[in-house]
Amino acid sequence: MRSDTVKRGVARAPHRALLRSLGCTDRELEQPFIGIINSFNEVIPGHIHLRTIAEAVKGGVRSAGGTPFEVNTIGVCDGIAMGHLGMKYSLPSRELIADSVEIVAQAHAFDALVFITNCDKIVPGMLMAAVRLNIPSIFISGGPMLAGHWQGGKVDLNTVFMAVGKLATGEMSEKELDELERVACPGFGSCAGMFTANTMNCLTEALGMALPGNGTIPAVDARRLGLAREAGRQVMELLAKDICPRDIITREAIQNAFIVDMALGGSTNSVLHLVALAYEAGIDFPLSAVNEISEKTPHLAKISPAGERHIEDLDLAGGIRAVMGRLMSRLNLEVKTVSGKSLAESLAAMEPVVKDERIIRPLSQPHSPTGGLTILFGNLAPEGAVVKSAAVAPQMLSHKGRARVFDSEEEATEAILNRSIKPGEVVVIRYEGPKGGPGMREMLGPTSLLSGMGLDDKVALITDGRFSGATRGAAIGHVSPEAASRGPIAALRDGDMVVIDIPNHKIDVELTDEEIKQRLSELPKFELRVKTGYLRRYAERVTSASRGAVFET
């Protein structure tokens, strides 16, 4: 066992003395050491209850003969960080999370790991750590929040963001906004729609790194605690069989995750994170492969923000296993899972059944014949850009409009609030990429304002930054290369004609290659916006969004 490094032999008497000071008994010292990597904190709604999840996990570990040690890592609430300096730290936190897990697991020689996670950058950060360490591991999320109820319908956090735009146009009063604010997020859990957190939790299940139910069982449901105990027990099985993350997270497993992602119409951030995970695992997975998957995968479930349903509805309809059951003919069924079985064996044991075909449609009646995410290429994004095509109004799938160019999110937000953006235009927000921001901020504020003002089916928005999983409309992000790296987006000027053709995977500006090259040559040298601290170090090392915004190694 790896833990023998810190507990076996005469030379390790000091180490054992320290472990005994924790209350460890002889028996507990003999057993495998299991690291419980918990992202509990008291500022993220999706994490406030994770102490309870951890206790259930530890109970499962103990019942199967392991000695659990709970440790913590950091987390950022994207909703609270949105629209100000804090959002610059969200994506960069992913690398810190992966690094911190590596440090604590290696320093204490854990034999296996249980990852307790829930929200946006914490899930992929932990997945990256798991493949990097490659010791037996399993994931358990805290589960999704229930939707709120207001004026006879269901609401979620995105409803509140959009309401700010409605207030600006006079469609909603301050009193109504106050009422909505108080009921939209009724309790703990990851925000109730198919936003980034829930997308990644569902995809962790699809990857085979979590047990069935991980992505959709609500945070308040007693089944969540049962699943946590089972995860604790199952990690001991993985240890006994020496099944490690790189046995599970293969190219085929990542492809499976993308297939499920397309069927769900998940967050655009999933592209960034799955590409980063592939890089960490040493797997070549180009962005162009995502479109190949999308072309062959029907969009089966429209969950908020693409539709009116929420994760709780998806769970009642059968969850991710039911979605995967629908997709069996398209999935690689021989991949391993943390159940200890192949995906084929796991699905057969579960007998996945769709309980509501209004929520998970049959293959013969999809929302669309192709997937909910699309990668665009063209002279404006030679390395690619991503759009949640499932949440784009049909009339905006192909769009041609004049550019309105802004060099920061704040400038664009001010213009939108001042109602200076006209129907038909293309809002361009640049210098918000991984290096330029730095940190590749999410643009939920501008997109929600446009939606709230009734412009999401009339105005497109493109950026080298990111979009929240809650974003809807013709919002195209991850434009690569970014402006700070002198990508073509840096050459745009007000009035340039931008052509968006989502069905044909294209995004172009009506400029010649020579015109773009000439404009870029006239630009001053880009200076990093931050001079000190972690963001400076991040900006110096981070790579393009097309590579997952990973660190150069």
Alpha-carbon gap, residue 207 to 141, rounded angstroms: 14
Instruction: Judge whether 46 and 10 are in contact, CB under 8 Å.
Output: no
Distance CA 227, CA 59 (A): 12
Q: Say if residue 70 is exposed, middle or buried (CB neighbours under 10 Å; 0-12, 13-18, 19+).
A: middle
How many C-beta neighbours within 10 Å does residue 288 have?
11
Exposed, middle or buried by CB within 10 Å (0-12, 13-18, 19+), for 41?
middle
CA distance 184 to 181: 6
What is the DSSP secondary structure assignment for residue 458, as one 8-state letter?
T
Q: DSSP per residue over 93-116, as a string?
A: HHHHHHHHHHHHHHHTT-SEEEEE
Rounded distance, CA 84 to CA 87, Å?
A: 6
For the chain, percent helix, then strand, then coil, each to nearest 5? 45, 15, 40
Contacts of 220 (CB under 8 A, 6+ apart): 143, 146, 187, 188, 189
Task: State yes or no: is 468 an active-site residue.
Answer: yes
Q: Angle of helix 288-295 relative to helix 251-264, nearest 10 degrees?
A: 60
Note whether 262 and 91 are within 8 A (CB).
no
Contact 181, 161 (CB under 8 A): no
- List the end-to-end C-alpha distance of the chain, in Å, as a whole number: 30
- Active-site position among 451, 468, 485, 544: 468
Strands 475-480 and 460-463 come out as parallel
Residues marked active site are found at 468
